[in-house]
Amino acid sequence: MEQYQKAARLLDRIERELNSLGLWQSHQPPVQALESQQPFAVDTLEFHQWLQFIMLPRMWALVDSQRPLPEGIAVSPMAAHTYRNELEQYEQLITLIREFDVLLSGTDPFQEDV
């Protein structure tokens, strides 16, 4: 139960951060763009669109129904890669996604295995 509450708080904070960065969109991309089979839909969506229209709705559905959350999640490295030229501007978003990764997987994807 606690994990779902923490996940909901982080999802909400990610949404607010996307909005504060001006990345939140009011119009959904075409359906075919959302059906990409590529990781992060890199062939059809920008990373923030993937977050808003694919990852966030899927995670909210799991949290709301209290179904099992994914355990092997590592989205923050992709966020860091996507925003590597503007790290300072996107630092808070990357940090929130990293916290979400750690909450679900129990490990920090930025920490090297020793």
Give residue limits of the domains in the chain.
2-21+41-105
At the topology level, CATH places domain 2-21+41-105 in de novo design (two linked rop proteins) (1.20.1440)
For residue 45, what is the DSSP state?
A: S
Q: Per the structure block, which two tokens stand in for 12?
A: 């909400």
Mean pLDDT computed over 78-88: 96
Among all chains, which residue has been given the structure tokens 């709705």? 57
Quick: pLDDT tens for 61-74: 999 999 999 998 99
Q: Please tell me the pTM assigned to this model.
A: 0.93
Q: Where are the alpha helices (DSSP H) in the chain?
A: 2-20, 31-34, 47-50, 56-65, 76-82, 87-105
Q: How far is it, in rounded angstroms, from Cα 85 to Cα 10?
A: 24
For residue 112, what is the DSSP state?
A: P
Q: Taking 80 as the threshold, does the pLDDT of residue 22 lie above it?
A: yes
